[in-house]
Amino acid sequence: MYNLHAATIAIIAVNIIVSLRGFSDSVFFDRYKFSIGGVKAGQRERTVTSGFLHVDISHLFFNMFTLYFFANVVINGFGPVKFLIIYFISLIGGSLLALFFHKNEPYYSAVGASGAVTGILYAAILLNPNMQLGIMFIPIPLPAYVLGIAYLLYSIYGMKSRLGNIGHTAHFGGAIGGYVITLLFRPDLFVTDTLIVLLLAVPIIILFILEKMGKI
């Protein structure tokens, strides 16, 4: 569809290289995946390295395909350096939220770039909230912010019900990272897109209210 920036190519290349190594080397995979027990034991690098490992080719492809569609929106809005900052803070944000919610589950583990990619997605939504996105089973495109809010609400449901073998917590943490850092870089959005900024905050507020109430 369009030319990828070198920063995006670099991120995709590292994900492919590290993931392929993990596919063929279970010791490598286990050492660098996100693990509550491992992080608590002092292996904090897992909060970053896990974001470059994937379970299989389809997991890797889906994350990189999503990044392909939204990376240029963020790079065009901020430049490659801030794009990379958002990517890595979202990655770490996903790991930290997983650590917070699963701190008493020593065997909880996760891998994947989903947190980082979701952060880029939410940054893109804030920068261009009216862009139209399509989704399977819905025949018409919807405004990006509508799908963004719906996705976070779905993630809350997934966290409550432990739905599927999916790191819903990391997705949500990545979205929070992308949301917060984008607003730090572009505080004018509070003025120019006040309603969108507030609407995208609603699922985040709901999550922490539910956590305080012990409902999640």
- For residue 176, pLDDT over 60 is answered with yes
Radius of gyration of the chain (CA): 17
Quote the pLDDT of residue 11.
Answer: 98
Q: Is the confidence at residue 1, as pLDDT, over 50?
A: no
| b/e 160-198 (16+ beta carbons within 10 angstroms → b) | eeeeeeebbbbbbbbbbbbbbbbbebbeebeeebeebbe
The C-alpha atoms of residue 141 and residue 134 are separated, in whole angstroms, by 4
Place of tokens 């997991």: 59
Task: For residues 19 and 10, give the distance between their C-alpha atoms in angstroms, rounded to a whole number.
Answer: 14
Give the tens place of pLDDT for each residue, 180-210.
999 999 999 999 999 999 999 999 999 989 9
Q: What is the pLDDT, as a whole number, of residue 168?
A: 79
In the predicted model, what is the mean pLDDT of residues 205-216? 87
C-alpha atoms less than 13 angstroms from C-alpha of 123 in its C-beta half-sphere: 36
- Token pair belonging to 62: 């889906």
Residue with the larger pLDDT of the pair 107 and 188: 188
What DSSP designation does 111 have? -
Span 129-143, pLDDT tens digits: 888 876 655 667 888
Range in 47-56, 82-91, 109-118, 161-170 with the lowest mean pLDDT? 161-170
For the entire predicted model, the pTM comes to: 0.92
List, in sequence order, every residue forming a beta bridge with 142; answer none if it has no partner: 133
